[in-house]
Structure 1
Amino acid sequence: MSGVRPRMTHLFEQLGLDASEAAIQQFIETHQLNAETTIAEAEFWTEAQRQFIVEKMKSDGSWAIVVDQLNESLHEDSVSR
């Protein structure tokens, strides 16, 4: 996938999750995090998923942007309160 800018669907595929638009939206709606919990600390990840997220956040590249977008989406409820 080199040369292709990662998207949310690519991130979900890499995490081994359903990457359909509906599944991504449902995941985000049902996995909201409180303001104190970082995306990497979320209890719903497997260890492999957690490691992938941490690695991509540290890379500070295209993947980090997509992980950050997911992070923001998973904190929508805590921000709107």
Structure 2
Amino acid sequence: MKKKIKGKNIIFAFLLCYVCYIFINQQITMHKIKDDIANKKIEEQNLKEKNKKLQDEVKMSKTDMYIEKLARERLGLTKQGETPVIDTKN
């Protein structure tokens, strides 16, 4: 006995395949979004750390010690009675 393939069975099989396709596609999309969120959180954390370092540097730049350090390093200034040392390795 051969069973005839009925139109309803074909439509049901097609709908079942379509639902499976949509479900798998949504799972892939959700996985990509979760990865993007994780990457953005890491990037946010890195930016927060960089911001904290820059804020600390701004606070330090207002002190006399920092200004003196910059004058010594960039301008080559020395205090009275000091002997300058030149690094020729660079």
Higher RCO structure (Cα 8 Å, ≥6 apart)? 1
TM bracket, shorter-chain basis: under 0.3
Could you state the TM-score of these two structures normalised by the residue count of structure 2?
Answer: 0.21
